[in-house]
Amino acid sequence: MYRGREGQWAFYLHRISGVAVLLFLMLHVLEMSSSMFGPEWFNALLAFERNPVFGLGLVLVAALVLYHALNGLRIILMDFTSWGVRYQRQLWYGVWVLYVLIGFPMFFTMLGYVFGGGE
């Protein structure tokens, strides 16, 4: 493994999270289109997805979307400002600070729904 620094890992994570979110989106479209076969099919599928495995998957997707979104803002700054590239490393650490601040309350709330049944 090439011993790149922050920028390399930011890029790899961005690519992996992007592909994972795309896969989720396709699954989601399939899931929604099951309603074409009528309410029985659709409701049965939704009931099946009550399984905590899917709940955990959803938390994972949220975690990946959040990274992709925040690092996407970093990339916009690097692409469109004259200073973004110079501070890319600091920006990446900023991404993780925001990730913890926004993500952790979100993940804990979601996990509460997955395992506690909500409310």
Partner 1 sequence: MQVTLKILRYNPEKDLRPHWESYKLEAEPMDRVLDLLHKVKWEQDGTLAFRKSCGHGICGSDAMLINGRNRLACKTLVRDLGTDVIEVEPIRGLPVEKDLVVDMEPFFKAYRAVKPWLINDDPPPQRERLQSPEERARFDEGTKCILCAACTTSCPVFWVNGTYIGPAAVVQAHRFIFDSRDQGAHERFPVLGSTGGVWRCRTAYNCTEACPREIPVTQLIQEVKRAIMFGEF
Cα dihedral angle (26, 28, 33, 37), rounded to 10 degrees? Answer: 120
Least distance (Å) from partner 1 to the CB of residue 56? 30
Contact with partner 1 (CB under 8 A) among 10, 61, 70, 95: 10
- Residue 1: CB partners within 8 Å, gap ≥ 6? none
C-alpha to C-alpha distance for 74 and 34, rounded to whole angstroms: 37
Q: Could you say whether residue 4 binds partner 1 (CB under 8 A)?
A: yes
> Measured from the CB atom, is 2 or 48 closer to partner 1?
2
Interface ranges with partner 1 (CB under 8 A): 1-8, 10-12, 14-15, 75, 78-80, 84-86, 88
